[in-house]
Amino acid sequence: MLRFILRRLLIIIPMALLVVTLTWGLIRLAPGNFYSGEKKLPAAVEAAIRKKYGLDEPWYKQYGMMMANVVRGDFGDSLKYPGQSVNEIIRRHLPYSATIGILAYFLALFVGMLAGTYAALKQNSVFDFGPMALAMLGLSIPNFVIAPVLVILFAFWLYVFPPARWGGASSLVLPVVTLAAVYAAYIARLTRAGMLEVLRSDFVRTARAKGLDDRTVLFRHAFRGGILPVVSFTGPALAALLAGTVVVEKVFALPGLGDIFIKAVLNRDEPLVLGIVAFLSILIMVFNLIVDVSYGFLDPRIRYE
Amino acid sequence: MADSYEKVAGQSLWGDAWKRLKRNKLAVASMCFLGILIVAVLVGPSIIYWTTGFTYDLTPAEKEMVRSFPPSLQHPMGTDDQGRDMLARVLQGGRISLMVGIISTFVSLIVGVSYGAIAGYLGGKIDNVMMRIVDVIYAIPYILIVIVLLSVFGGPNTPHWIQWLSTTVGGAGNQGLSQLFLLFFALGLVSWLTMARVVRGQILSLKNQEFVMAARATGVGTFGIVFRHLIPNALGPVVVYATLTVPSVMLTEAFLSFLGLGVQAPYASWGSLADIGIKNLAIFPWQLVFPGVTMALTLFSLNFLGDGIRDALDPQTRKF
């Protein structure tokens, strides 16, 4: 087990470097650069800037310089915000995304697993169709439609929560609910499917045959296997939530990482894009590893050599 | 005497699935809704034009009419800021949104199925490398890929076959339309990854079965085995996943349009209509409500239909 974890942790490093390389290639492939969008610079100024950022070197030298810094964990300064290092920017904006992301994650897990389990137990009844139709609706309404509707309802009509911006616990409610809605819907559907599968399996029948009561069968035996599909979904989902989701941050005017990322891509702020992509890809791979490891604990049938 | 026996017709997998799908009321309702929607989207704009003269980009000539009116008999969905008929715009937007869903899914289908099938069949090192590539692309945010594809191949750099395609569909010299087609392909090219994984898993379980061995023994080449023997047998999960890809691509397009990167004026999709509607939500709620509800209903139906097809194709669920 320990060897498996170590090996996977070691693979993450070259994979992340590969992701950075591909991203760098993608950015360079697109015509133009950070300076081409701004107003035309005098030739001398442009030459000076190109020299400062090493843009006058051949591409492989630029790539080498970039990689040499990235390997040391240094992404350099942002082009859009001169004097601010990429690491600083990420560190500053991550807490906002992380706070609403983690809260939304737990809200979605709680609501989704509760609704999914309940629906599976009461299969083909109103308590099954109702939550499942609601979950389908949650998947079908884009969150940029949910968010403003919630704002109008709770901020402008009922005056319960502030409509936007960061400040106090009450300002977190609407963004967290918006963010959690889609994930809760997914998790509810996955939990229902997983629980239905497990409730029909032999080991649950054995547990019942032993004379265990419903509650013990459900929580001690069925639940662990039933949430396996949810577990594999939540790894990447948590990474996406932590990184922030652009829409929610845009609608609620939160200074999170997702918003910064989109702006960086649109501004061609190469160091910032590379930094965020590297950070995200490592996050995704670490969470995938955690998911794979937790599989082994949840399902004794899965073994890693 | 032989013809007094009852004829027993063979039941194909697909015929069987179709029968089960028809028993699923929600799936049938979804199909009806989607059918009506497709007809409305195809002929609706022309009917509106013949009966009332409104089109999706017709701004009224009178100055006092150029503002957003609430729904009325004349404009069942109201008008937008420019006084344009919202019903015509929602129907026209539906054309674009459905086209995004269908064309992008088709692109992702072709790329994903071939990639996954080849990786799964060849196996070993090649499979390992191909799947690690998928992992790496997964880790790159798709927004970045779409933006780069759009800017690399946008404007004068648009590939000839995309220009040819848009010329055949919409007539020559239509720069906006070829950019639209570019967007469809860009979206397709970022949504094939999961399809590739699904197909690879299927192929892995199929490739050691006897019929493949038999095909190989009769001298069928790798290409023939993959495309003639393996892929047709893996089609069930592919169909299911494809029906679920359609709504997800449509959501992605709406999301891109919301960020101002998707469909550009004069074209409109449900996503870009909703984007405008959100800005005016407090004053002109109908500008969001109608495109938003139409889109939600469509995605709702597509998701339910996808679920229904999965249940119909998966014999496991027959027990219920």
pLDDT (tens place) for every residue of chain A, 305 residues total: 778 788 878 888 888 888 888 888 877 776 666 666 556 667 777 777 777 766 677 777 777 777 777 777 777 777 777 777 888 888 888 888 888 888 888 898 888 888 888 888 777 777 777 777 788 777 778 777 787 778 777 777 777 677 666 677 677 778 888 888 888 888 888 888 778 777 777 777 888 788 777 777 777 777 777 777 777 777 767 766 766 577 788 778 788 888 788 878 777 777 888 888 888 888 877 877 787 777 767 766 655 54
Q: Which chain B residues are closer than 8 Å to A15 by Cβ? A: 132, 135-136, 139
A198 in Cβ contact with A225 (< 8 Å): yes
| B19: contact with A, CB 8 A cutoff | no
Q: How many CB atoms lie within 10 A of CB B2?
A: 4
pLDDT, mean of residues B302-311: 78
Same domain (yes/no): A30, A149: no
Is A276 contained in some domain? no
| B135: contact with A, CB 8 A cutoff | yes
**How many pairs of residues across A and B have Cβ atoms under 8 Å apart?**
103
Query: CB B139 to CB A124 under 8 A?
Result: no
Same domain (yes/no): A27, A155: no
Whether B317 has a pLDDT exceeding 50, the answer reads: no
Instruction: Note the pLDDT tens digit of each residue in B180-232.
Output: 778 888 888 888 888 888 888 777 777 777 887 888 888 888 778 877 777 77
Q: Name A268's Cβ contacts closer than 8 Å, sequence gap at least 6.
A: A27, A30, A32, A33, A34, A37, A79
Query: CB A142 to CB B251 under 8 A?
Result: yes
pTM: 0.76
Query: CB A152 to CB B281 under 8 A?
Result: yes
Is A61 contained in some domain? yes
Residue B148 Cα, gap to closest chain A Cα (Å) = 6
Same domain (yes/no): A53, A110: no
Same domain (yes/no): A95, A136: yes
Instruction: Note the pLDDT tens digit of each residue in B38-56.
Output: 888 787 777 777 777 666 6
Same domain (yes/no): A52, A160: no
Q: B interface mutation test: which of A122, A123, A128, A140 has the most B CBs within 10 A?
A: A140
Q: Which chain B residues are closer than 8 Å to A156 by Cβ? A: 282
Whether B67 has a pLDDT exceeding 70, the answer reads: no
Question: What is the distance between the alpha carbons of residues B218 and B239, in angstroms, rounded to a whole number?
Answer: 29
Is A8 contained in some domain? yes
pLDDT value for B318: 42
Query: SS3 for A216?
Result: helix
| B293: contact with A, CB 8 A cutoff | no
> Shortest CB distance from A29 goes to which of B148, B296, B303?
B148
| Residue keyed to tokens 């938003």 | B292
- Closest residue of chain B to A270, computed from CA coordinates: B144
pLDDT value for A12: 82
Question: What is the distance between the alpha carbons of residues B34 and B56, in angstroms, rounded to a whole number?
Answer: 21
Same domain (yes/no): A25, A108: no
Structure tokens at A247: 């829409």
Same domain (yes/no): A28, A132: no
Q: Name A204's Cβ contacts closer than 8 Å, sequence gap at least 6.
A: A198, A217, A221, A222
Whether B108 has a pLDDT exceeding 50, the answer reads: yes
The CATH number of residue A242's host domain is: 1.10.3720.10
Question: In chain A, how many domains are there?
Answer: 2
- The last residue of one of the domains, among A71, A98, A126, is A71
Mean pLDDT in chain B?
A: 75
Bridge partner residues of A77 (DSSP): A85
Is A77 contained in some domain? no
Same domain (yes/no): A24, A116: no
Same domain (yes/no): A175, A249: yes
| B136: contact with A, CB 8 A cutoff | yes
Range ranked top by mean pLDDT from A85-94, B2-11, B68-77, B257-266: A85-94
pLDDT value for A305: 46
| B151: contact with A, CB 8 A cutoff | yes
Q: A interface mutation test: which of B153, B197, B258 has the most A CBs within 10 A?
A: B258
Same domain (yes/no): A117, A184: yes
Is A284 contained in some domain? no
Q: Which chain B residues are closer than 8 Å to A20 by Cβ? A: none
Is A96 contained in some domain? yes
Is A303 contained in some domain? no
Is A245 contained in some domain? yes
Query: CB A30 to CB B151 under 8 A?
Result: yes
The DSSP call for residue B85 is B
Same domain (yes/no): A43, A95: no
> Shortest CB distance from B148 goes to which of A30, A149, A156?
A30
Supply the range of the domain harboring residue A63.
2-71
The residue count of chain B comes to 320
- The last residue of one of the domains, among A71, A105, A120, is A71
Whether B94 has a pLDDT exceeding 70, the answer reads: yes
Same domain (yes/no): A36, A153: no
